[in-house]
Structure 1
Amino acid sequence: MDIGAAAGLGDDVGAGTEAAVPRAFARFYADQVTSTLAVVLALRGHRVGAEDVVQEAFLRAHDRWEQVGRMDRPDLWVQRVALNLATSQLRRLGAEARAVTRLAGRRHEPVTEAFGHEQPFWDAVRRLPAKQARVVALRYAGDLPVAEIAEVVGSAEGTVKAQLHTARQRLAVLLQDEEGGR
């Protein structure tokens, strides 16, 4: 996912033309794309869908780079946009899946990308309420501290702590149920 190469810019990044991606944005993208993808992938469960969401978030940052680049933490802005896009996409996909299920008269089993030994955990995370799933993804896939999670999701730190606490309790139950069902 090299935005410079995708835009056909090669080594001319920041060459001063309007079409060129500023060097600062290219560096920002290179530094942040992996961690942003990890968070969205944890929430989405599908690499292709997650990559699309992340690309859209970075495209929006690029389009607004003059403002976003001046922010204290543009990475948190991009993560917020990516999470909002992922949440919207999940809602839309969920509605589509329910419609297909009703029409087909059978349950829809989502296809998930393997996370290796972490698959049951991330499957359980995706069963949490959306706000809890977001803070868990930011904490464990994004490795963000509570203060930065609060900034990304637009909540108070205490709210994030409470959501993480509740999510951990729910995950313990979900994972124990999963373990007992084997």
Structure 2
Amino acid sequence: MTVEEFEEFYAHSAKQLVGQVYLMTGDLHEAQDVVQEAFVRAWGRRSALYRDAGPEAWIRTVAWRLAVSRWRRRGRSAEAWRRHSDARPSTVPEPDPDTVAMVSALRQLTERQRRVAILHYVCDLTVEQVAAETGISAGTVKTHLSRARASLAPHLSEEEHGV
């Protein structure tokens, strides 16, 4: 992938990838950070990006792994902070109600169900592509999709069901 192709790829897909990772993580700033970091890492291997599942899948997978690593690190850090400090975290402005409802509904899912559902329904990947990106079997992907739909159904309004 040439420099120009990479720049075009970034311009075309960065916003979409941030949106996808945001739905997986529930944190817009975190999604922006990890997608940006994934693009930085991709720059060094841009000649190999079209092998395997393609550049968007590579960026999304790296961003997801970075987010998981940060969650783990933050959890350990927060626990240490609570043990050694009386300081409180700073407040952040509230997101709009629709965003809160969507993120709340997605948080009802297990981590794997949420990731599989986002990859299939938001990223528009086939079951086979989701299986390849997550490293789980197609049958397991279908099971997680079914369970995710069942878990989300009570949280979605009639408009979101297309009624």
TM-score, with length taken from structure 2: 0.75
1:30-179 maps to which residues of 2 (within 5 A)? 30-71=11-52, 73-100=54-81, 114=95, 116-172=97-153, 175=155
- 1:51 is displaced (CA, Å) by 0.7
Report the secondary structure of 2:95's partner residue: coil
- Per the alignment, residue 159 of structure 2 pairs with none
Cα distance in 2, alignment partners of residues 66 and 155 from structure 1: 27
Residue 43 of structure 1 aligns to which amino acid in structure 2?
M
Closer/same/farther in 2, CA of residues 100 and 122 from structure 1, 3 Å limit: same
Larger of the two Rg values belongs to structure: 1
What percentage of residue pairs aligned between the two structures are identical? 36
Closer/same/farther in 2, CA of residues 70 and 23 from structure 1, 3 Å limit: farther
Uncovered stretches (5+) of structure 2, i.e. residues with no partner: 157-163
- Please, what is the CA RMSD of the aligned residues? 3.2
Cα distance in 2, alignment partners of residues 115 and 152 from structure 1: 31
Cα distance in 1, alignment partners of residues 136 and 116 from structure 2: 10
Uncovered stretches (5+) of structure 1, i.e. residues with no partner: 1-13, 15-20, 177-182
Residue 52 of structure 1 aligns to which amino acid in structure 2?
D
Note if contact 1:87-1:130 (Cα within 8 Å) is conserved in structure 2: no
Residue 120 of structure 1 aligns to which amino acid in structure 2?
A
Report the secondary structure of 1:128's partner residue: coil
TM-score, with length taken from structure 1: 0.69
- 1:115 is displaced (CA, Å) by 5.4
The CA deviation string for residues 8-59 of structure 1, in whole angstroms up to 9 with x for no partner, is xxxxxx9xxxxxx711111111222122111111122222211110011111
